[in-house]
């Protein structure tokens, strides 16, 4: 992960990320609806990062994630609550709960996978968590608005 060159998996992940985002936004299509969804996705995608940093140990002793440190417990809880509030307001209560459940599954899966494969979290893992969270919110919003 310290190699700055994009490999095959990185390019595939980038392509899928852009494809899923554009498909979700295209299905919303109404700018008045898309703007709040984008803000909600941005907020909710980042809300779990402090909690993830508290629960999953750093993979290395010398990475950037170690230098940042562990966020305080109160800050991690506040970030999650703000993200949940954003989902409830931006998507509505039912879709917000659906997004929270899907993000929680992604959170747990990524935590398990990162500990199993590389021994913990890194900055790249935190970035993946944020991207996955944003995509989940956009897809839930597209399904909710389109349905």
Give pLDDT, residue 119. 92
Residue 57, pLDDT above cutoff 80:
yes
56 φ/ψ angles, rounded to the nearest 5 degrees: -110, 125
pLDDT digits (tens, 9 = 90+) for 111-135: 999 999 999 998 889 999 999 999 9
pLDDT at 124: 87
Helices 73-91, 123-146: inter-axial angle, 10-degree rounding: 20
Q: In this model, does residue 2 exceed pLDDT 60?
A: no
Reported pTM: 0.89
Q: Is the pLDDT of residue 12 over 80?
A: yes
Taking alpha carbons only, the member of 87, 52, 86, 58 closest to residue 71 is: 52
Q: Where are the domains of the chain?
A: 8-146
Do residues 130 and 49 lie in contact, with contact meaning Cβ atoms separated by under 8 Å? yes
């Amino acid at each position: 992960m310290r190699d700055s060159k994009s490999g095959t998996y990185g390019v595939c992940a980038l392509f899928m990320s852009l494809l899923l985002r554009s498909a979700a936004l295209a299905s919303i299509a109404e700018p008045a609806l898309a703007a709040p969804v984008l803000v909600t996705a941005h907020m909710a995608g980042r809300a779990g990062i402090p909690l993830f940093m508290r629960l999953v140990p750093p993979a290395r002793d010398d990475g950037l994630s170690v230098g940042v440190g562990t966020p305080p417990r109160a800050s991690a809880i506040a970030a999650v609550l703000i993200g949940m509030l954003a989902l409830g307001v931006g998507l509505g209560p039912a879709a917000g709960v659906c997004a929270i459940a899907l993000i929680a599954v992604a959170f747990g899966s990524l935590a398990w996978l990162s500990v199993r494969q590389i021994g913990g979290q890194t900055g790249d893992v935190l970035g993946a968590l944020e991207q996955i969270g944003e995509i989940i919110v956009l897809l839930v919003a597209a399904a909710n608005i389109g349905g």
